[in-house]
Every structure is written in C-alpha cells, then in structure tokens.
Chains A and B, each alone.
Chain A
Amino acid sequence: MSTAVENIPAGFDVMDQPLESEMTLSMGPQHPSTHGVLRLDLRLDGELVIKAIPDIGYLHTGMEKLIEYKKYQQGIVITDRMDYLNPLGNNLAYVMAAEKLLQIEIPERAQVIRVLMCELQRIASHMVWFGTSCLDMGAMTPFWFAFKEREKILNIIESASGGRMTPSYFRIGGLMMDLPAGFENRVRQFLDNFPDALNTFDTLITGNTIWQSRTMGIGVIDKEDAIDWGLTGPCLRGSGVELDLRRHNPYTGYETYDFDIPTETDGDVWSRFLVRMRELRESYKIVRQALERLKPGPIKADAPKVVLPDRDDMRKHMDSLIHHFLIVAEGFNVPAGEVYMPIEASKGELGVYMKSNGGPKPERVHFRGPSFVNLSALPVMSEGEMIADVVAVIGSLDIVLGEIDR
C-alpha cells in the first residue's frame, strides 16, 4: 500500500480506510435494469445496501383522471398503456368491471377467446420478464430466445386485433371482432414449438450453476411479510402461499379449466423464478384447452344499447343504425353503483375499482396495479443485500413502470 500511495500524483487523495459514513447512490431513473423510469435512493455501506427508497412517478400520465372525462368504451384504450406487457389483461379487468355494473352476460365463445388471448398474453409477458431479468444479470443470449417467442405471440395478437402492444381487443359486452381465418392454426403452430423453447430456457438458465448462485437465497421475503406487504401473483406464490385468483375468485370460466398453481416456499429470487417458469407450462395447458373449446357462436352480448351492432345490420335495420349513432355519439348509461373487479394478471392481482353515477362516463376508476404493490416491498427484500443483488431482486419482481405510475 505504501508504494502505491507514494506514486499518487500531488493533489489526489487515496482512500485506504473504509468509509466512516454511508454513501448515497441514486440509481436510475434511466438505469437499464430498472425496467423503465424507476429511481432508487440507495444508502450504501461499501457494497452493502443499508436502505433502499424507491422513487416513482416519472411516468405519471394521470390515467385515472383522464378516464373520468372519457366514455366507458373510450377508457379501454387507456388501459392498454398501463401495463404495456399485459394489455389484454388490463382490457379484461376494465371491461369486466363495466360489464358487472351493467349486468350483461357474455357469450361462451367470447369467454373462451378471452381466456385464450389472456393466457397467450401471459406467456408473452413472462417472456419479457425472463429475457430482461437474465439480461440484468449479464446473460444476454436468453433474451434473444425469449423475444423470439414473444414475437410469435405478438404476431398472433396482431392478426386478431390489429395491434401488437395496444390491442384493445376486448370490448364491453364481448370482443372487437371475431377471430380471423387461420387463427387457430397459427396458435397451434406456436404451441407445437413452444415446449421446445421452454426446454431450451431450462438448459440455458434453470440448470445453470452461475444463475443458481446468483439467485438462491437472495431477496428473501417470508410468507407473513409477503401477505403483510400485499404481494400477489408469482411473488406471493414464491413465498409459499397458494393463491391464484383464476382458481380462488374465478372469472370468465377459469374454474372449468384444468391447471395447477405452482408454488415455492423459499421466497427468494430463485423461487419466484421457478414459479414463473412453471407457470408458463400451465398457461400452455390452458391455451390448448381453450383451443379445443372454440365453437362457432356469437362474440357479442345481446345488449343492443351497449354493444355496437354489426356493419351489415346497420345497413338493413333502422334501429341498429340508431343504436350505433347513440353509442358512438353519446355513449351508454351505466347504472349507478360501485364494483371492485380483481383478475389474476401476469404480475399479480390487477383490481379495477369502478364507480358509476348513472351517466355515460365513470365517476371514479382506480387501478390496483400489482407492480405498484410489489415494488413497495422492494426495501424489505433488498436491504442487507449487495448492490448487484438489488438488480436481481428488481428483475424477480417483474415490474412495469407504466402501471406503477399510471
């Protein structure tokens, strides 16, 4: 040490003693591993994190305020932009809240298509999580493999809705339009190759000892804390709580599908990783079952005052034309009341609180985003860990800032 100190040019200090005080490091908001614009205030002792304070709001766009000024059907496109990796899930929660207030029945075919699309979207969302959380920890190759699979799903979604990341495919009372010709074959083709891709991921990452030593025992949150902090979805199941709203508060007919709820007990990054990897196979199973159930039938509810009529009907029937005009120009009135509609989105419980005063615009819509709540538990998981592990913990939470800031 002494020789090194002698060689230092004049005017420079060398620190050969540990810091007497803690250091504050501002990580983000443009840091690539923060998955958007999250800023973390880290208080550090060397490489050890003493305190982590998340700072959010950089992406706040006032969606809840904006939705109060829009008709019910116009709100659907706003929800696309919330959790932009799982837009169909957002659409579903929003339209189901409105449908519950309106008390309209959705036909069987529309329900099956909703399940099918949502599970495809869940796979696509998990693909982004898998790719980016590996990339955060320095594994670049899995990212390309994962995005290749996601690309196929986005093409499928595009073929049905016209949009890749902003599909707005679900409408209050049913779907935007029926599936295009050849859709089922496209999904089958994807499904036939998907298990191979999953096996590739397992070979690349799951069985990788570097990956295991980077994730095992890191960012631990136990069962009681996980519930106390309101964690839901794969994060909660990684802590050993078997809770899946598709099973326990079923919606759109999920109770009739056969699937398992993967859980792990350790509550670390590795457990959350395993839960999501196994969930991919469960979603695959559900998509297969939904494909089997696709039977011809109506895709819109029988509610002419709410659901837009078919183009063909408008040319032939006067009342269809009137309904179309009224729905587009004035919207439809939703009975006064309030509902809370929770669904199991890819990241956890996505709840929509909707309050109506009887008019064509909602009085209040609140989104309970799973990312928002899961991120709030980040300090518990990362305090006491090394700074490089904070990145691993953020990756394992699978946050999307569009939903956190709304």
Chain B
Amino acid sequence: MSEGLGKFVDALRDHDPEWVHSVTESLDEVTVTVPAGAIVEICTFLRAGHGFDLLADLCGADRGPEEDPRFEVNYHLFSTSHYKRIRLKALVSEDDPRLPSVSDVWKTANWHERETYDLLGVVFEGHPDLRRILLPSDFDGHALRKDYPLRGYEPYSMN
C-alpha cells in the first residue's frame, strides 16, 4: 500500500514545507504529522488535488497525562479513485486542546469529531454542532482519557 504514497507527501512539502513536520513509514502505512492549525487547508488540498475524497476515519488518542502535546487526532484518508490510504496526525496540547474542524471538507467528519470531543475533550473549532454524542449530555469528564478511571468516579445515575 505504501508504494506511490511518497508523491503525496512530496506534494504537501512542495506546496508548503511547514505542512510536513515528520513522516513515518511503517507496516505499509504512511503517517504525516501536520501542524494542527493548518489541518483544514491540508485536507482541502489533498481532497481537491489528490483524490482523497473519502474520510474513512477520524479518531483521537490520549498519549498519557505526562506527554506534551498530550492528544493526537488521526485522520485516515482514502481515495475512491486510486484506492490509497494516508494518515494525517495532528497533535494538540492539554492546556489548549483546540484545532479547526474539517466538517466543511467532509460532512462525515461531523460525527467523528463529536465522538472525539465527547470521549477525549478535544475541541473542534468551527464545528456546526459540537455536542456529546455517545455519553449523556450531563456526563462529567472525558472517559477515554488515560487518567479517567475505568469504572468512573461514582456510579452514574440518570437522575
């Protein structure tokens, strides 16, 4: 899968060298770490010019409370014309867990971003409807954070 992905990384680098912080290639997958602030421009660039028209998945991960930046958001891009995949990774810190929303680039990002916000507390700016999606609206905390205990702080009550 990784053959031929280098040209997309080169295209990103040619367009703006700032866009590519680092590139990891392992297990036939290519991960490009990109600046969080430019994620909308990068996604628009890859969608419009390089055929990555389907956002397969968007998910966040907590690297641990001691890490800085603490959170990462992974964008798994897929193309319905050349069938290649590429992963974009944006890092956000715990103090300011914000990055722009890509829900204008792909509408499907809407629910993925809501889920990431719900479970990890990453805020997507410009999202049309950033509410909790899986957990109740009055839930306290973000359950997928590493410092959130598996069984919660106290039994949750629907009252």
Contact = CB atoms under 8 A, between A and B. Distances in A.
State yes or no: do A and B come from one complex: yes
Interface string B24-68: 001101010000000000000000000001111101011000000
A364 B87 CA distance: 16
Contact of B143 (A65, A228, A353): A65
A241 interface: yes
A333 to B, nearest CB: 16
A377 B55 CA distance: 14
B150 A65 contact: yes
Given A56-B134, A69-B150, A351-B57, A373 B111 contact: yes
Name which of B56, B61, B76, B135 has the most chain A CB atoms within 10 A of its CB.
B56
A281 to B, nearest CB: 24
Interface residues of A, number: 40
A338 B29 CA distance: 9
A353 B83 contact: no
A388 interface: no
Interface in A18-60: 56-57, 60
A248 B1 CA distance: 11
Contacts of A249: 1, 83, 85
Contacts of B108: 228-230, 373, 376-377
Contacts of B53: 227-228
B90 to A, nearest CB: 14
Given A228-B106, A230-B54, A376-B108, A340 B87 contact: yes
Name which of B59, B74, B148, B150 has the most chain A CB atoms within 10 A of its CB.
B59
A342 interface: yes
Contacts of A232: 54, 56
A340 B106 contact: no
A67 B33 CA distance: 26
B56 A342 contact: yes
B3 to A, nearest CB: 13
Nearest to A55: B133
A364 B85 contact: no
Interface in A340-371: 340, 342, 349, 351, 353, 355, 363-364, 366, 368
Contacts of A274: none
A66 B111 contact: no
Interface string A368-406: 100011001100000000000000000000000000011
Interface in B81-134: 83, 85, 87, 106-108, 110-112, 119, 132-134
A64 interface: yes
A342 B79 CA distance: 13
B144 interface: yes
What 4 A-B pairs have minimum CB-CB distances, sorted nearest first? A230-B108, A368-B57, A366-B59, A376-B111
Given A230-B106, A243-B80, 5 more contacts: A66-B150, A100-B27, A103-B27, A337-B27, A340-B57
